[in-house]
Amino acid sequence: MAAIQQILSEIHYEMVRQLAEGGMGVVYEARQLGAGQFSKTVAVKLIREEYSAIPEFQKNFIGEARLVADLIHTNIVQTYHLGHTGGQYFMVMEYVGGHNIEQFLDKHRQLGRLVPVDLAAFMVSRIARGLAYAHQKRDREGNHLNIVHRDIGPKNVLIGFEGDVKLTDFGIAKALNLMYNEEGKVIAGKDEYLSPEQASYAVTDARADLFPLGIVLTEILLGKNIFRSLERSQSRRNILTMQIPQFSSLRPEIDPRLEAIIQKCLRRDRDQRYQSAAEVLHDLEVYLYSGGYGPTNEKLGTYMRELFATENPKPAPGPRLTFRRQDQP
């Protein structure tokens, strides 16, 4: 055991640049350095300094790490390690070279174009694939974890330059005995990407992730979130009461098969909605591939590289931070 601790104490992470910043956490690109000039690019997530000493945030952060530790799936960002140094917790995660869907859509808006329909459906099918895995996950004793992500949205889905689509940020997920949860008292999630259950303070199950999955699909197809309002409360009211349009009237390339999938995702009555992410995945893949050849990771990767071809994929690094990893006893 002492030998293992000695090895761990010699591992360094060299911070390269900040990748993202949210309400509670900051994510950096970093290099993990090892023996024999070993170097691996990773992402390191830290609790924002102003929250790092608050027990509730520490509990959520640790809960997220414990939850995703065994979520090993090609469509979910993998977590390698939870560490603690200088009074601050950090998570070491898989680095995905690319952009999140929000940045992907921003680029399309800058160029005045829409995402091809087949690629939009393909991207959402990969999110559904990751969700299907997470929703069905059991712990090592065989107990169903009952994971609900509760924060499905464009910022939390990464698209790699190789065409990988990966769901991330389980920070407000709920799961059996793992995550802090006050459903019925607070709303977890972003107002314009809530399910009707979340917007009305109801207790959620896995079906709550499928309504915002439908919102993300329509946003990729239309270039806008039809539920978003300047007022947060109005966004929630739109989720609960706004008439759901026929999306083919807003974009004619949406054929009846895809329209039916969207409408079933956006059923407000969860008993009338898709009952599992696996069902969404099945219908999207039938839509995409029943005619023969359909989109692949390679096609999406080529599209991504062409879309961002004029950008420097590695912005100039910011201040470097180097720290020695110190795990809790």
The catalytic residue positions are 151
How far is it, in rounded angstroms, from Cα 264 to Cα 275? 10
Rounded to whole angstroms, the Cα distance separating 56 from 67 reads: 16
Q: How many angstroms separate the CA atoms of 256 and 279, rounded? A: 18
**Residues 217/262, Cβ–Cβ less than 8 Å:** yes
What is the crossing angle of helices 277-289 and 117-135, to 10°?
150
Q: What are phi and psi of 102, to 5 degrees?
A: -60, -45
**Which value, to the nearest 10 degrees, does the dihedral of the CA atoms of residues 156, 78, 32, 159 take?**
-40
What's the token pair of residue 53?
């000493």
* Closest C-alpha to 70, from 134, 151, 149: 134
Rounded CA-CA distance 39/114 in Å is 38
Contact 34, 325 (CB under 8 A): no
For residue 144, give the 3-state DSSP assignment: strand
CA 221 to chain centre: 18
Q: For the chain, list the strands marked E by DSSP.
A: 12-21, 25-34, 38-47, 79-85, 88-94, 98-100, 157-160, 165-167, 322-324
Helices (runs of H) and strands (runs of E) counted in the chain:
10, 9
